[in-house]
Structure 1
Amino acid sequence: MNAVFFALVIVSFGFATWGQLTGNGAGMQALSQAMIDSAAGAVELAVGLIGVMALFLGLMKVAEAGGLLTIIARLISPLMSRLFPEVPPDHPAMGAMILNLSANALGLGNAATPFGIRAMQELDRLNTKPGVATDPMVLFLAINTSSVTLLPTGVIALRASAGSQDPAGILPTTLVATMAATAAAILAAKLYRSFTPFAATPALPETTHNTPTPDSKSADRINAPVPNTGEPYPLWVSMLALGTLAGLIPLTIFFGQALSPWIIPLLFVGFLTFGWLRRVAVYEAFVEGAKDGFWVAVRIIPYLVAILAALGMLRASGALAALVHLLGPLTETVGLPAQALPMALLRPLSGSGAYGILASIIQDPAIGPDSYTGYLVSTLQGSTETTFYVLAVYFGAVQIRRIRHALAAALTADLTGICAAVAICSYLYR
C-alpha cells in the first residue's frame, strides 16, 4: 500500500505541475484545495458512519453471543473434512479454520483474523517441510480470500450512511459473487498444485518478518485454546443448508426489489429474537457490540484521510479523467465502468484503500450508492478480500517463504469474483 499511496500522490503532482506550467489543466491551487476538502470529507464520512456501524455490529454481537458462529461452524464441518482430507477432523487446525470461515461469512472480520492466524499455526504443526506451504495451507488461504459472505455488514453500513434508498440491495449480488469466487478458489487450488509440487527448499537464514500484527485483544484470542464447536451436524443437514443457500440466489434475483425493504428490519428483529431465545442479555450484548462499532468507525479515520486525500488529488489534477478517457471505452464493453476500475485493481492490495475508493465513489453526487456503478463497487468490496494482506499476515505468522500456488489460486478467485459481480450487477441494476 505504501507504493500505491506514493504513486497516487506523485502522479497527481506531476499532472498538476504540467497543468500549472502549460495552463492546460488544473494547477497547484486546485490540488491544494482538493487535499484539504478530501481530508475534511473523510472525517465527516467517518462521523456519519459511527451510528450505522454501531447498529450493525451491535446486532452481530447479539448473534455471536447466541452461538450463531458455532451453528454455522457445525454446519460446514462435514464439508471441511472432505475438502481437507489431510487434516484430522479432531485436529485444532480444523476447528480454527471452521471458526475463521464462519466468522467471515457473518462479516466478523475482527474475529476471523485471529482464528485464521491460529489455523495457520496449527496447520504448520502438520507441515513436514518448514518454510514451504502445504496443500491444506494453500487451499485454506484461497478459500479465505474469497469465502462466502452472507452479511457484508460494513458495506451496508457505508451505503446507508451515504443516503442509499436500498442499502441491503447488495446482499444477492454479494452472495452470487462470493459463491462463484469460492468455487473458483477451491478448483484453482486443487488444479494448480500439480504445477507446484510440495517439495523442500534450501534452508534460509532466519529473518525478521515485518508483517502486520493484530491488536492485543486479537493476540489473546490467537493464543487461547480453539473453542470447541461441538459435534458436527450430519452431512445431509449440511447439504440441505448449502442447497437452501443456493436456492436463495434465484429468490433474491427475481424478488429482490420486493424483498429489499424487508431485509434490514428482518435482520434486526431476527437477530434479537435469536438472541432472546438463546437466553442472551440482548440489550447488554447489543450495547457491547455497538461500542466496538463506534471504535471501528473512529479507527478508520486516518486511513480514510490518507486515501481520500490521494484520490482527491488524482481527481483534481486531471489524472483520473485521463485514465477514464483512456480505459473507459474498453472496460465499458464488459460492464466495468472506468470509475470502478481503480476499485477492482486496488481491492486485492489494500482493504483500507479500497474502502476509501468505495466511499469516494458512492459519495460522489454524479454516481451515488444506488447507481449501477454504486452497486458494483459495493459488491466488489463486500465479496472479495485483501488478498496480499491475508497472504502476508497468515504466511508471515508461520514463517512460510515458499507460498507455491497460493497467490495464483487467490488471484484466480479474485478475478472470478469480479467477473461474477459485473455479471450479476449488470443483470439486476443496469
Structure 2
Amino acid sequence: MLNYIWASLILIGLLVAGLLGRFTGDSGVITSALNISKTAVMDIALPLAGMMMFWLGIMRLMEKAGLLELAARALAPIMTRLFPDVPRDHPAMSAMIMNLAANMLGLGNNATPLGLKAMTHLQELNPHKDTASNAMVTFLAMNTAAFTLIPMTVINYLSAAGVKGAYQIIVPTILATACTTLTAIFVAKALQKLPVFRIQPQSSPPHVSLTAPNPGSDVAAPGPTAVDVAEEHPQRATPKARFLFMLLLVLFAGGVVLELAAPSLRQGVLEATGLSQVMAAADQRAAEAKAASAAVTADATAQASPLRRLMDGASGVAIPLLLVITLGVALIRGVKVYEEFVEGAKEGFSVATRIMPFLVAMLAALAIFRSSGALLILEYVLTPVLNLIAFPVELLPMALMRPLSGSGSLGILNELLARSDILEYIKYTAAIMFGSTETTFYVLAVYFGSISIRKTRHALAAGLTADFVGLTMSVVIGRLMFA
C-alpha cells in the first residue's frame, strides 16, 4: 500500500505542477524536493543522532539500575494483553512503556529515541526481518494515536494567541486521544487477521544449504526460488496497466506543452477551469498564515499566566527529575554510570543513518505533492462535501496537512488562532485536532526506516484510521463543549 501511495504523491504532484507551471523556480516541485531532502538529513536525522545517543545512554542506565524492569512489572497486565508476542521480561516491553509514557507527558521529540529503541528490540523478536510484525504495527498505531495527558504545545499557542481558557482543552484532548488510541488498537488487531495483511511465507529468507550436494547423490541441487525467478523476470504489464501508463504520459506531455508555450496559454487554461481563482485565494491565505504564525510566536511568552508558568515548569521538571532518579538509583546500586552511558549511546548514530533514506523518500514525495498545488486543489474539491456533513471548512487544511507535516499543520493552527473572522469554538477545535492526531507518514518513515522494514502491512491503514477518528472526535467534542 505504501508503495502506491508514495508513487501517487509524486506522480499527481508532477502532473499538477505541469498544469500550474510549478516545475521550476524557487517554489517549484524540484527545488522543494531537493530542499526537503537536505532538511531531512541535516535538520532532522543528524540532530536526532545526538538525541538518540543521549536517550539510549539514559536507557542503558535505567536498565542497569533496574528501573525499566520495575516499570515493565507495573504495566505488565495491560502490555501483555496488547503485545502477547512480546515476552514480559524482554527489553522491548520496558522500552515501549518508556516511549508511551513520554508521549503521554507531552515530551515531544524526546519520545522518539525511546520509540526507536523499542522498535530495535521488537526487530530482535521478528522472524521476518523485512516485514512488520503484529507487535510493531500495534505499537506504531498507538504512537500515531498520540494519547496525551497534557497537550502543552497547543496550550502555549492558544495562550499566545489570546484565546481565553486555553487549559480547557486538556480534558477534550484526553477524550479525543483516548478514542484514537482505542481505535488504533482495535484496527491494528482486526486487520492483522485479514488474509491481505497476513505475513506471507516468502517474507522469510529462503533456506540456503551450506553443504555441497554429493555428486553421486540422487538429490538435485536446490534451484532458484520463486522469489528469485520473480526478481529476474518481472511481471508483464497488463493491458490496464499499459493504458494507465500511456494516459500518464499524455497528461505529462500536456504539462510540458504548457511549460514551453506562451504564458497566455496556461493562463487561459487556468481561467477556463477556475483554478486561477483557487490558487489566488490559496496564495493569499498562505501569506496570512505566515504573518499570523510569526505574530503568535513572537508573543508566545508575553501573555504567560501564572497557571501557564506552573504547567510549563512542571513539564520542564519532568526530564531533570527522571535524570536525578536514574543516576541516584544507579549510583546506589554500584553501576558505573559513565561507562554504561557511553556504551548505550554508541548505537545512536547508526540508527540515525539508517533512517535517512526513508526520511528523504517520504518527505520529498510530500514536498512535491504540496508545492505543486495538488493539496490546495484537493481542499477546494472537498469543501462542498464537508459542508454537507457539517465539518467546518476552516479546519479542512488542518485535517489534510496533519498526517503529512508537523510544521505545516502548526503553521495552519497559528493562522486559525490569529484570525478574527472565525468563531472561538473553531479555534478550540483546531487545537484539539492538532493535539489528538499525529504526523502518520513521518512516524512510519522514521520508525520502520530505523530497522529497515520494507513491508509495513496494515500499519498505514491503522494509523490513518486513528487520525480520521481523531479528526472526527475533535469536531464533535469541540462543538459539544465550546460551540
Q: Separation in 2 of the partners of 1:143 and 1:336?
A: 26
Q: Write the mapping of 1:123-142 to structure 2, written as runs, cut at 5 A.
A: 123-142=122-141
Q: Separation in 2 of the partners of 1:93 and 1:72?
A: 12
- 1:50-92 residue CA offsets vs partner (Å, 9 max, x unmatched): xxxxxxxxxxxxxx9xx9x989877544311221111111111
Q: Write the mapping of 1:355-374 to structure 2, written as runs, cut at 5 A.
A: 355-367=410-422, 371-374=424-427
Any stretches of 5+ residues in structure 1 without a counterpart?
18-31, 33-63, 206-260, 282-302
- 1:222-247 residue CA offsets vs partner (Å, 9 max, x unmatched): xxxxxxxxxxxxxxxxxxxxxxxxxx
What corresponds to 2:442 in structure 1? 389
Q: Write the mapping of 1:30-429 to structure 2, written as runs, cut at 5 A.
A: 76-195=75-194, 196-201=197-202, 264=308, 267=311, 327-367=382-422, 371-429=424-482
Q: Separation in 2 of the partners of 1:342 and 1:397?
A: 30
Distance 1:3 1:173, change over 3 A: farther
Q: Please say if residues 132 and 201 of structure 1, whose CA atoms lie closer than 8 Å, have aligned partners that are also in contact.
A: no
Distance 1:393 1:268, change over 3 A: closer
- 1:186-218 residue CA offsets vs partner (Å, 9 max, x unmatched): 11111001112222435699xxxxxxxxxxxxx
Identity across aligned pairs (percent)? 40
Q: Please say if residues 405 and 442 of structure 2, whose CA atoms lie closer than 8 Å, have aligned partners that are also in contact.
A: yes
Shift of 1:10: 10
**SS at the partner of 2:416?**
helix
Q: Separation in 2 of the partners of 1:346 and 1:86?
A: 34
Distance 1:265 1:399, change over 3 A: closer
Q: Please say if residues 139 and 189 of structure 1, whose CA atoms lie closer than 8 Å, have aligned partners that are also in contact.
A: yes
Any stretches of 5+ residues in structure 2 without a counterpart?
1-5, 27-57, 206-226, 229-304, 326-362
Q: Separation in 2 of the partners of 1:6 and 1:364?
A: 34
Q: Which has the larger radius of gyration?
A: 2
Q: Separation in 2 of the partners of 1:132 and 1:323?
A: 32
Q: Please say if residues 145 and 410 of structure 1, whose CA atoms lie closer than 8 Å, have aligned partners that are also in contact.
A: yes
Q: Please say if residues 361 and 374 of structure 1, whose CA atoms lie closer than 8 Å, have aligned partners that are also in contact.
A: yes
What corresponds to 1:52 in structure 2? none
The Cα RMSD (Å) is 4.2
Letter in 2 for 1:373: I
Shift of 1:365: 2.7
- 1:320-355 residue CA offsets vs partner (Å, 9 max, x unmatched): 6x8777644431343421121111111111111111
Q: Please say if residues 72 and 93 of structure 2, whose CA atoms lie closer than 8 Å, have aligned partners that are also in contact.
A: no
Distance 1:333 1:116, change over 3 A: same
Q: Separation in 2 of the partners of 1:398 and 1:346?
A: 27
Distance 1:166 1:105, change over 3 A: same
Distance 1:406 1:12, change over 3 A: closer
Letter in 2 for 1:188: V
Shift of 1:372: 1.9
Letter in 2 for 1:137: M
Scaled by the length of structure 1, what TM-score is found? 0.58
Scaled by the length of structure 2, what TM-score is found? 0.52
Q: Please say if residues 437 and 470 of structure 2, whose CA atoms lie closer than 8 Å, have aligned partners that are also in contact.
A: yes
Q: Separation in 2 of the partners of 1:372 and 1:397?
A: 40
Q: Separation in 2 of the partners of 1:401 and 1:106?
A: 31
